[in-house]
Amino acid sequence: MVTELIHVGFGNYVAANQMIGIAAPNSAPIKRLIHEGRGKGLTVDMTSGRRTKAVVFMQNGAVVLAAITPETIEGRVRTRNMRDLEEEGE
């Protein structure tokens, strides 16, 4: 299996096939999950000091903080999936 990487800004990438979900960091439950992840050493800050705009949840329990919006990440995943479908059809 090939690991596809999705660019989440500032030279940082996450494995697309390991992503469970993407959320905005504004709600109290998401903030709580980020805080709990920090306590367990599972929060990965990929913002390069910028404001967190998206929180990506990974299969291994990691919580990835990104400085690009959830919509941008979703668009990049969608583009990757469409490219894969086109390649299968050829």
Residue 49's nearest CA partner among 86, 5, 12 is: 12
Residue reference for tokens 């668009």: 75
Which helix H or strand E contains 57, and what residues bound it?
strand 54-58
What pLDDT, on the 0 to 100 scale, is given for residue 47? 97
Amino acid type, 57? F
What pLDDT, on the 0 to 100 scale, is given for residue 60? 97
Find out whether 9 and 67 touch, Cβ atoms under 8 Å. yes
36-89 pLDDT, tens digit each: 999 999 999 999 999 999 999 999 999 999 999 999 999 999 988 888 888 887
Specify the pTM: 0.90
What pLDDT, on the 0 to 100 scale, is given for residue 67? 97
